Amino acid sequence: MTDELTALGVIWTEQYFFITVVFMFLIHVGFTMYEVGTSRRKNLGHTLAKNLMLIPMITFGFFFFGWWAYWAFAEVPFGPFADAPWSLPWSYLMGPNMGGGGDADGEFWGHLNGVFFMAFVLFAWTTGSICSGALIERIRLGAWLVLITIFGGFIWLVGAAMGWAPNGWMVQLMGYHDAYAAGLVHAVSGGFALGVLIVLGPRIGKFGPNGEVRDIPPHNKWMVCTGILIIMTGFFGFMAACHVPFIALGTEENPFYGAVTIYGTPVTLSNMTMNYIMAMSSGMMAMYFCSKGDPFWVMSGCIGGVVSCASGMDAYHPLQCVGLAFAGCLFAYHMHHYVQKRFKIDDAVGAVAMHGYAGIFSVIAAGFVLWGYPAAAPTGDINPGWFGNNADGFAIINPLGQVIGAFIFFVVFGILPGYIGAKILQSFGVLRVPREVELAGQDTHFLGDGYPYFEITEGEFEAIEREYAKEQ
Amino acid sequence: MSTGITSYADLSQIAAFSPGAGGMDGGGAEWIMAIVVFVWVIWFMVWQFKQEDKELKEAVRLYKEVGMERAMATAKGRIATDEEMKAIEVQRAMGSRAGH
């Protein structure tokens, strides 16, 4: 990097993404607390193990396949596999490299490959964490690890390549727009979880003999709620990582520098932050209203509100976010209860609702609210758009493109692989723990009581209290 | 064995396992390392399935031995002790007398 502006842009981008990655780690901390808190005391060790082990498995899956898939599949099947040598596991650009020697790829990717890679790894962990909660208390750890390595480390990235890159065919041909990944992270993960749940079945006793739905309360509501607050803190990093922070948008005669979405459309951190908080607040109020103040659902409304707006949050006014978050949460909450009752789907944490249904809502809503906005600049390879272009030849955001996009992510990259993967594991008898183990608790034979000292402490204090009671 | 690099003068050549051998597409020890790590991950999966299967079978055998009622009694991730079983029985008896 020989000129100062290029150096500033590249090095600032490197620092920026590093910070987003650190923030995004909190998403995983939060999900772990949320799911362990939701599980019953007899299962919390296994729930924790499930969350911990998705970290290395997805990371390795991503390292070998996912990073390459994100770059290679953008135009497939309407164009060839793209060449992306920096994403291959054996590339020297995976290691420390500062560019130089006139190697243009080295100058750019030498600084940015690692932080881009890590941002996507953290997105990938998020897809795993979203699925994880829905399946707790009955899935085998081995089955879970296989499913999530393939999904989190590869499958969702094929979809992301097509719908979350400026040259993706869904973007260029359909005008698909999903700036903060409501469809291609949230809906796809909710769909995958639903596909697995259909095969996995509900926890023993969740549904009564007459089909009545029984509540299985979390073992620690404080942990659940704090976990979601930590997720929301981490999501600031997620949202920021959906931006490219510094790029030249203008011409040589009229220079203009700013941040862009992953599609290359202009955006500001300022507007995103305001929209994020407004959507979150609206989602919480919607869920307080729906659930009559149940803290579990109120906190889920944080996520549901943001996801409901995420597709178009780069271009919404905050008041649009308020309305969409409210409507999206109502839709997700009622869909959750309808599907649960009608199809006996036991989604333990409401993940399919808050990520899947709210994600679908978000993608489709953006098609109407942002109808006519450019989806991305044309790349020259596979445009113009099927469903309309603007005067400059940019594919426009439109309802049909968004509806088809929501279907592709929720069903094609979500439910189908989840269902097929779970069916294969079930056919080998390795999907679900034996009935006896589920009834006794997944921790009973191996990890043991997650709170071995609680009873003794409580018992001693109760003995003291009883002494006081005798005195009166 | 020396890498052959003796300075940081050529910044683009710092990272490779075999500097200069394969460029962007690799070509040196990178391939071998990638294969080794990939095999390790696959082996780990197979090992996990095997040891989990063994563990679950042992658990089912244990629960049949002690009885499911006892295995489930505490609902806290451990099998109930004799004292706990007695206490639970007393509690249940009191509960049934109270009409619960």
**Which token pair is A417?**
């692989």
Grade residue A10 by pLDDT with cuts at 50, 70 and 90: confident
Q: How far is A49 from chain B (nearest CA, A)?
A: 12
Say if A470 falls within a structural domain.
no
Q: Are A355 and A191 in contact (CB under 8 A)?
A: no
Interface test with A, best of B49, B64, B66, B81 (most A CBs within 10 A): B49
Q: Is residue B1's pLDDT more than 60?
A: no
Judged by CB atoms closer than 8 Å, whether chains meet at B14 and A105 is answered as no
d(CA A216, CA A214): 6
Contacts with B14 from chain A: Cβ below 8 Å: 95-98
| pLDDT value for A247 | 83
Alpha-carbon dihedral angle through residues A230, A126, A44, A342, given to the nearest 10 degrees:
110
Structure tokens at B42: 């696959």
Question: Residue B76 and residue A93: Cβ atoms within 8 Å?
Answer: no
Interface test with B, best of A111, A432, A444, A446 (most B CBs within 10 A): A444
User: For residues A303 and A298, what is the distance between their CA atoms, to the nearest angstrom?
Assistant: 10
**What pLDDT, on a 0 to 100 scale, did the predictor assign at position B81?**
87
For testing the chain A interface, which of B10, B12, B53, B74 should be mutated: the one with the most A CBs within 10 Å? Answer: B12
Residue A385 sits in a domain of what CATH number?
1.10.3430.10
Residue A469 has a pLDDT of: 76
Give the number of residues written for chain A: 472
| Start-to-end C-alpha separation, chain B | 78
Asked if the structure places residue A206 within a domain, the reply is: yes
- How many Å lie between the alpha carbon of B3 and the closest alpha carbon of chain A? 14
Q: How many domains does chain B have?
A: 1
Q: Work out the average pLDDT over A116-130.
A: 96
Radius of gyration of chain A (CA): 23
Model confidence pLDDT, tens digit, residues A243-252: 999 887 777 7
Residues 6+ apart with CB under 8 A from A457: none
Residues of B in contact with A140 (CB under 8 A): 52, 56
Q: Give the integer Cα–Cα distance in Å for A245 and A239.
A: 12
Interface test with A, best of B24, B36, B65 (most A CBs within 10 A): B24
Residues above pLDDT 90, as percent of chain A: 75
| A421-452 tens-digit pLDDT | 999 999 999 999 999 999 999 999 888 888 88
pLDDT confidence tier of residue B4, bands split at 50, 70 and 90: low
Residue A358: CB partners within 8 Å, gap ≥ 6?
A182, A186, A303, A304, A307, A308, A328, A329, A331, A332
CA dist A29 → A36, A40, A229 (Å): 11, 19, 10
The minimal CB distance from A101 to the residues B11, B37, B71 is found for B11
Q: How confident is the model at residue A292 (pLDDT cuts 50, 70, 90)?
A: very high
- Which helix (H) or strand (E) segment holds residue A248: the answer is strand A243-248
- Kindly indicate the confidence band of residue A338, based on its pLDDT and cuts at 50, 70 and 90: very high
Instruction: Return the H-helix or E-strand segment holding A247.
Output: strand A243-248
CA distances in angstroms from A191 to A145, A353, A418, A470, listed in the order given: 18, 10, 8, 58
Considering only CB atoms, B63 lies closest to which of A91, A105, A436, namely A436
Write out chain A residues lying below 8 Å of B56, CB-based: 140, 433-434, 437, 445
pLDDT the model gives residue B12: 58
Taking contacts as CB-CB distances below 8 angstroms, the residues of chain B near A448 are 77-78
CA distance A443 to chain B (A): 5
A129-188 pLDDT, tens digit per residue, is 999 999 999 999 999 999 999 999 999 999 999 999 999 999 999 999 999 999 999 999
Q: Does B53 touch chain A (CB under 8 A)?
A: yes
Distance from CA of A64 to the nearest CA of B (A): 8
Q: Quick one: which of A471, A401, A425, A399 has its CA closest to A139?
A: A425
Bridge partners, residue A258, by sequence: A247
Reduced DSSP (H G I as helix, E B as strand, rest coil) percent helix, strand, coil of chain A, to 5: 65, 5, 30
Over residues A35-44, the pLDDT tens digits come to 999 999 999 9
Instruction: Give residue A441's domain range.
Output: 4-451
**pLDDT (0 to 100) of residue B21:** 44
> Mind listing the pLDDT tens digit for each residue in A199-237?
999 999 999 988 899 999 899 989 999 999 999 999 999
pLDDT score for A384: 75
User: Is residue A468 in some structural domain?
Assistant: no
Position B13 in a domain: yes
Is position A165 within any domain? Answer: yes
Within a domain: A384:
yes
A84-110 mean pLDDT:
72
What is the pLDDT of chain A when averaged over all its residues? Answer: 91
pLDDT at A38 (0 to 100) = 95
Number of domains in chain A: 1
Per the model's pLDDT, the better-predicted residue between B68 and A405 turns out to be A405
Task: Nearest chain A residue to B47 by CA: give it.
Answer: A142
Name every chain A residue with its beta carbon within 8 A of the beta carbon of B62.
445
Query: Which B positions 60-89 lie with beta carbon below 8 A of chain A?
Result: 60, 62-64, 68, 71-72, 74-79
Chain B, nearest residue to A46 by Cα: B77
Q: Chain B residue closest to A107 (CA)?
A: B12
pLDDT value at residue B19:
47
Q: Pick A95's closest partner by Cβ from B15, B31, B52.
A: B15
Report pLDDT for B24: 47
Residue B90 lies in a domain: no
Alpha carbon distance A134, A137 (integer Å): 9
Is residue A263 one of the residues assigned to a domain? yes
The answer to whether residue B1 sits within a structural domain is yes
Q: Is A410 left (phi over 0), alpha (psi -120 to 50) or beta?
A: alpha
What is the C-alpha to C-alpha distance for residues A95 and A110, in angstroms, rounded to an integer? Answer: 8
Mean pLDDT of B42-55: 96
Write out chain A residues lying below 8 Å of B79, CB-based.
440, 444
CA gap A456, A471 in Å, rounded:
23
Q: Identify all chain B residues contacting A421, using CB atoms and an 8 Å cutoff.
A: none
**Residue of A228, A231, A212 whose CA lies nearest to A220:** A228
> Is A457 within the bounds of a domain?
no
B11 and chain A: CB distance < 8 Å anywhere? yes
Q: Which of A76-90, A110-124, A362-376, B84-98 has the lowest mean pLDDT?
A: B84-98
CA distance B96 to chain A (A): 22
Question: Among residues A358, A432, A356, which one has the least CA distance to residue A130?
Answer: A356
Residue-wise pLDDT tens digits, A44-73 = 999 999 999 999 999 999 999 999 999 999
**Pairwise pLDDT comparison (B92 vs A439), residue with the higher score:** A439
What pLDDT does residue B3 have? 64
- Are B48 and A142 a contacting pair at CB < 8 A? yes
Hey, CA dihedral for B47, A49, A87, A114, is it positive or negative? negative
User: Which of A91, A110, A440 lies at the smallest CB-CB distance from B63?
Assistant: A440
Residue of B13, B24, B75 with shortest CB distance to A40: B75
